[in-house]
Amino acid sequence: MVFSSNVFLFLFLPLFLAAYYLTPNRNRLRNWVVLIGSYLFYAWWRIDFLLLFAAVTGWNYLVGMRIAAHGAGTLLARRWLMAGAGLDLATLGYFKYANFGVASFNELLHGLGAEPLVLAHVILPIGISFYVFESISYIADVYRGDTEATRHPVDFATFIALFPHLIAGPVFRYKDLASQFEQREHSLAKFGEGSLRFMQGFIKKVFIADSIAPMVSQAFALTHPTTADAWLGALAYTAQLYFDFSGYSDMAIGLGLMMGFRFVENFNQPYISQSITEFWRRWHMSLSAWLRDYLYIALGGNRGGTAKTYRNLFLTMLLGGLWHGANWTFVLWGAWHGAILCVERALGVKPPRERTTPAATDMVPQTAAPAAGFRVTRWALTFLFVVLGWVMFRAEDVGTALRLYGAMFRFDGAGLSAVYAGSITSLQLVTLLLAGLISAATGAHALRSAQPAAPRPPLRARGVQLALWWVWPLFLLSILKLSAQSYSPFLYFQF
């Protein structure tokens, strides 16, 4: 089940909200409703993997309690942390990387003329990357003394299972939500804010991202793309991925508000960034913060000298790329971003102070913004690096990515090929142009306001009324479009 489906919109969500608000207004009781609803949501996909999900939850709750019993930072607590994180990573490694590992090893054996290994195909449980990372962050925070181990197993299970973010984030930390499990506000204004945010995300996903998707698929399937084909396909994917994933995050945040939760923001206009360092402070901010706090710092951070700092920075992005999927394309994409981050650090490239965010990575110091002309140049170069990286991220294999790169820089001047031009509709082109205009307008507004990202305040009644003038019609059109099109999952479901 996905948010952008009629089953979710017209069956699951209404029934869940009815059960939630008919339950007496005590958060402990409503936590039970959220937990049961989340387990039903997950079981809709595959009920057998619900057992794995519950086992990971129970294991990490137990580990958290044992760490707390021995005391934060103690030797025995550290052993429990290593055991907990080790089993979590082993679980993730088996389900996510067993096929990739065996396939890569078999290629080596084939080159040596040896017989390949045989392994039954391992099915990837949906959402495992997110709930394993959140489990590790919880036991690590308990070990560090950053949060107390909860003695309420339902609260912890609800934290791991919260269906709005379960499948594709944002990546939560228990300490950010702990107080909300005990006490959270339920009001008509907050529910209205959440509904509006959900509709905005739904429009991003269905009306924009899904309309652009065929252009992307056709471009990456071309065997002999022209330069124009390759660039149009790369730019289309740049727009599709942002509107798809940020749309999911908006919907998750909106659903949370409907239940009284206020989640962290996950995007802050990433395509206005003037460096890759700034890009990772704006794109998938919850993951960026997780990689910083639980991987980069665990590797040593910027302690131990310049060479080790570059090593830790590069390894963080390399492993962050591998986290996205078991494919060499993701490894190379992570290496691409890691190498650029190292170069930026060596050159002293620092993001402007007024546009940093609380949830963003903090791997380099900050300074004031450079002159306007230089900012444009830095933005153009950063955007180019991001687009080139997305080609490798989207390609099914390295060969496909190299084919697109070759076409992008061949500069054949032939325009769009007849095959690609014939597959593109006017609606797709208009939607891509609309996506560009929306990104430019919202980015320009963010630059003018020059304010740090922060939790959004409750919407004023007038603002809601004005927004409904355009949100409701587009939301209804998006529902009609959803009903007419085939199933289209969120892109980040595969990661």
Using one digit for the tens of pLDDT, what is the confidence trace for 215-270?
Answer: 999 999 999 999 999 999 999 999 999 999 999 999 999 999 999 999 989 999 99
Give the model's pLDDT for residue 460: 46
Name the residue with tokens 């137990």.
Answer: 62
Binning pLDDT at 50, 70 and 90, where does residue 456 land?
Answer: low
DSSP codes, 269-326:
-GGG-SSHHHHTTTSSHHHHHHHIIIIIHHHTTTTT-HHHHHHHHHHHHHHHHHHH-S
Residues facing 367 on adjacent strands: 352
**Neighbouring C-alpha atoms within 13 Å toward the C-beta of 7:** 6
Q: Does the pLDDT of residue 486 top 80, yes or no?
A: no
Q: Does the pLDDT of residue 376 top 90, yes or no?
A: no
Give the model's pLDDT for residue 495: 53
Give the model's pLDDT for residue 105: 65
Angle at alpha carbon of residue 21, lines to 19 and 22, rounded to 5°: 65
Give the model's pLDDT for residue 28: 80
Q: Does the pLDDT of residue 463 top 50, yes or no?
A: no
Torsion of CA 319, 323, 327, 331, to 10 degrees: -20
Mean pLDDT of 359-372: 50
Give the model's pLDDT for residue 245: 93
Residue among 434, 495, 440, 494 nearest 470 (CA): 434
Mean pLDDT of 357-385: 67
Which position has the higher pLDDT, 81 or 48?
81
Give the model's pLDDT for residue 47: 86
Give the model's pLDDT for residue 370: 59
Give alpha helix (H) positions in 168-305. Answer: 174-182, 188-202, 210-221, 227-258, 276-279, 285-291, 297-299
Q: Does the pLDDT of residue 354 top 60, yes or no?
A: no
Q: How much is the pTM?
A: 0.87
Residue among 363, 333, 336 nearest 351 (CA): 363
452: cis peptide before it, omega within 30°? Answer: no
Mean pLDDT of 44-67: 92
- Identify the helix (H) or strand (E) that includes residue 346: helix 328-347
Give the model's pLDDT for residue 223: 93
Query: 251, 3 in Cβ contact below 8 A?
Result: yes
Supply the residues annotated as catalytic: 324
Q: Does the pLDDT of residue 201 top 50, yes or no?
A: yes
Which position has the higher pLDDT, 122 or 185?
185
Binning pLDDT at 50, 70 and 90, where does residue 481 land?
Answer: confident
How distant is the alpha carbon of residue 232 from its chain centre? Answer: 24
Give the model's pLDDT for residue 168: 76
Query: 364, 347 in Cβ contact below 8 A?
Result: no
Binning pLDDT at 50, 70 and 90, where does residue 114 land?
Answer: confident
Give the model's pLDDT for residue 469: 65
The two structure tokens encoding residue 268 = 């802050």
User: pLDDT by residue (tens digit) across 31-55?
Assistant: 999 999 999 999 888 888 899 999 9
The two structure tokens encoding residue 156 = 């912890």
Give the model's pLDDT for residue 363: 46
Q: How many whole angstroms separate alpha carbon 391 and alpha carbon 411? A: 17
Give the model's pLDDT for residue 492: 55
Which position has the higher pLDDT, 450 or 15?
15
Q: Does the pLDDT of residue 493 top 70, yes or no?
A: no
Binning pLDDT at 50, 70 and 90, where does residue 488 land?
Answer: low
Name the residue with tokens 């290593």.
Answer: 82
Which position has the higher pLDDT, 170 or 116?
170
Mean pLDDT of 103-118: 69
Q: Does the pLDDT of residue 357 top 70, yes or no?
A: no
Binning pLDDT at 50, 70 and 90, where does residue 494 land?
Answer: low
Give alpha helix (H) positions in 348-425. Answer: 372-394, 398-408, 418-423
Phi and psi at residue 367, in whole multiples of 5°? -150, 180
Q: How many whole angstroms separate alpha carbon 276 and alpha carbon 71? A: 39
User: pLDDT by residue (tens digit) across 312-349?
Assistant: 999 999 999 999 888 999 999 999 999 999 999 999 88
Q: How many whole angstroms separate alpha carbon 160 and alpha carbon 57? A: 7
Give me the sign of the Cα torsion angle 96, 314, 240, 171.
positive
Q: Does the pLDDT of residue 293 top 70, yes or no?
A: yes
Q: Does the pLDDT of residue 359 top 50, yes or no?
A: no
Give the model's pLDDT for residue 362: 45
Average pLDDT over the chain reads 86
